[in-house]
Amino acid sequence: MNSNEQSSKWKQGPVVLVGNWEPLVFRRRVNLGPTNRAELYDDEHTQAYVQRLKDLGVNLYITHYFKGFGLQTEAWDIAKARELLRHCHEAGIHVGAYIGDTIILETMLNEEPQAGTWHQVMPDGSPIYYGGTQTFRFRWCLSNPAYMAYMTRVLTQAVSDGFDLIHLDNWVDKPEPMSCHCPWCQDAFRAFLTEHLTEEQRRERLGFVDVRHVLPPVFTTPLYIEWAKDTITNPLLQEWIRFRCHLRSTTYQRLSELCRSLRSDIAMECNPTGIWGENSAYLRGVNHDQILPHGDFFWDESPNPYGVLDNGAICTHIRGMKMGEQYNDRTFYYSGGDVMKIAEGLAFNNGCAGMLGCPPGCLGDLATEGKIASEDAIRPYVALLHDRPELFCRTRSLARVAVYRNPLAMATHSLTPQLQAILAEETLLEHHIPFDIRLNLDNLDYGAILVPGLECLSSAEIERLRNFAEQGGRLILIGSVADMDLWRRRWPTHPFGDIKMSTKPVNVGKGWIARLPELQLPAKAPAIGQRAIWDEHYPVVDARFWILPRNARSLLDALAIRKPGGLSPMIVKAARTTMVEMRASKDDSAVMIHMLRFGDTNRKETVTVRMPAPRAFDSLKLVVPGGPGAKDKAIPCRREKGTLTFDVVLGVPYAVAVLVKATKE
């Protein structure tokens, strides 16, 4: 293994992180922290503090580097970051450098007199700010050449300093009407239309070919009702959404390639949202299928409440983690002192356990002295991750079912495709059927593909999905699927019109296609008109809707999973609030069945698992986070008709059953 391979190995191994990404100059500017904030700031950069993190099991510290004041203004804080970097590397802890997305003109203009033209502007020329009371922070314009030029300086310096990871913050746009309309963005939008649409497509799309004088959509009062609607039919607005996604993703690609050209093993990440129930392409300018391939991690900072809600809905980070796995990206999230959130990272996030906390200077409780909240409870989980990484890291999904979410197909409707995907995924989760989430159709090595509510599909997608079925796959279309093309134009003849809407599949070639009615919300879900409103104007499919549909049985009947090994590698009997995930080790020598109990953990629960029986195996044991001296417990099992069945009585929030295959079967 060469030095780069060795130094990048941590990116696939256990990750437990903390962060202190606000420099002292910023803490003073926003009045963050108590009167002794300078002393606290010094403390979180000391060798003693780093040793405290190491003792807790932390192996990644994301710290401040560039907030936007200017490299000269932040030079003292950057020197502190370098000091911290040295201490961390001596302790075996990797360090990430925070790179902000705003310009603080109060100081930047002293260093860069032209910086007053670098920020985003509204159509009337007024600036676009970070938000809230922080009107001194101006959003960088990604189209402006000054952005790439200045970021090249910042990132070149950070990579040369020896940081292991680059975090690009706030990798989202602000929702309309706060999108940049500066001359650079106008020119870039026109270039996008020319480059991505042929002359014939422009004529069909807009009615004309010459787009030299086209202006981006302006979100004024007469359009108010239109821009907050669920359905987006305006062709120029549809192209504007795609342009914003394209600009953000290609910029991330360029910055990632820059950093890797300087140091090939650098880790890259940003925070482009996860799966939250919103139309992220429209609201945030985010197409995960275009962004995630260029990073190693990404942040899911979901505003949704976590866990089992009062109406029985279950909100977790699982969907985002599954989305990232397609690109070998793991999810950063705020796990804190919550053992369920940490266990979620063990089971679904390839051993990335999220962020435990931050120091007192950032209003956290992770100090050099004393314990953080629930420290005694989380320590066994962190210890298990570090002691037994092979159970969690570099594992692979054994799912035979995939849910298809095309971000651009979902970008023109903020309700139906979002809701139908959530309900389909919830059905699989609560019935313990392993599944993957796919954002493209590049790899369809599955037994069944679910297409929930994607009313817009391209002719290429339709052909790919039909071929999948004809070659032996099961294709399940849920609700309105392929009614229109990606421009929201109805097909003259429905592409799947030969398949009747029914729970019974129709044979097509070697496989079959089923068209199911749309999944329906149960009575305990809120009414559609009661959706949460985010960003002042936009209704979203918030966590209260992440609930088992009342006609979930129609999907389960279509899947017809009656024995393990076909469309599901296991059949599980457990509470619906217990999430079960089956994964294989990197070398296929072991199978792990993770069990997470989001329900009442004060009562014991029996989980029964049936799976195809290997011809021989060395052991089947239950592993429970238990601290020093904890021993694996052998699990009794029984064989019958080619299956292996075992029961696990759980009185803890999380456990993993590990089946080690025989070295010679």
* Pick from 30, 32, 56, 52: nearest CA to 43: 52
Question: Are residues 605 and 637 located together in one domain of the fold?
Answer: yes
From 559, 582, 602, give the residue that closes a domain: 559
Question: Are residues 390 and 408 located together in one domain of the fold?
Answer: no
> Does some domain include residue 118?
no
pLDDT for the residue 295: 98
> Does some domain include residue 212?
no
> Does some domain include residue 105?
no
pTM surpassing 0.85?
yes
pLDDT class of 1 with cuts at 50, 70, 90: very low
Domain count, the chain: 3
Question: Are residues 542 and 636 located together in one domain of the fold?
Answer: no
Average pLDDT value for the chain: 95
Please give the average per-residue pLDDT across 440-467, as a whole number.
Answer: 97
> Does some domain include residue 133?
no
Question: Are residues 366 and 294 located together in one domain of the fold?
Answer: yes
Q: Which two tokens stand for residue 368?
A: 């050099």
pLDDT tens-digit series, residues 353-369: 999 999 999 989 999 99
Question: Are residues 435 and 376 located together in one domain of the fold?
Answer: no
User: Which residue range(s) make up the domain with 456?
Assistant: 401-559
Question: Are residues 575 and 547 located together in one domain of the fold?
Answer: no
Q: How far is CA 657 from the centre of its chain?
A: 26
pLDDT tens-digit series, residues 540-584: 999 999 999 999 999 999 999 989 999 999 999 999 999 999 999
Question: Are residues 529 and 590 located together in one domain of the fold?
Answer: no
Question: Are residues 406 and 523 located together in one domain of the fold?
Answer: yes
* Pick from 248, 260, 65, 76: nearest CA to 167: 65
From 528, 559, 590, give the residue that closes a domain: 559
CATH number at 585 reads 2.60.40.1180
pLDDT tens-digit series, residues 576-619: 999 999 999 999 999 999 999 999 888 999 999 999 998 888 89
> Does some domain include residue 299?
yes
> Does some domain include residue 109?
no
CATH number at 486 reads 3.40.50
Contact 659, 612 (CB under 8 A): no
> Does some domain include residue 83?
yes
* Pick from 517, 455, 524: nearest CA to 491: 455
Question: Are residues 358 and 405 located together in one domain of the fold?
Answer: no
CATH number at 88 reads 3.20.20.70
Question: Are residues 360 and 468 located together in one domain of the fold?
Answer: no
Question: Are residues 152 and 275 located together in one domain of the fold?
Answer: yes
**Contacts with 361 (C-beta within 8 Å, 6 or more apart), sequence order:** 20, 27, 33, 37, 40, 41, 43, 44
Task: Answer yes or no: is pLDDT of 221 > 90.
Answer: no
> Does some domain include residue 129?
no
From 377, 394, 411, give the residue that closes a domain: 394
**Contacts with 219 (C-beta within 8 Å, 6 or more apart), sequence order:** 176, 177, 179, 227
Residue located via tokens 């437990």: 16
Question: Are residues 492 and 580 located together in one domain of the fold?
Answer: no
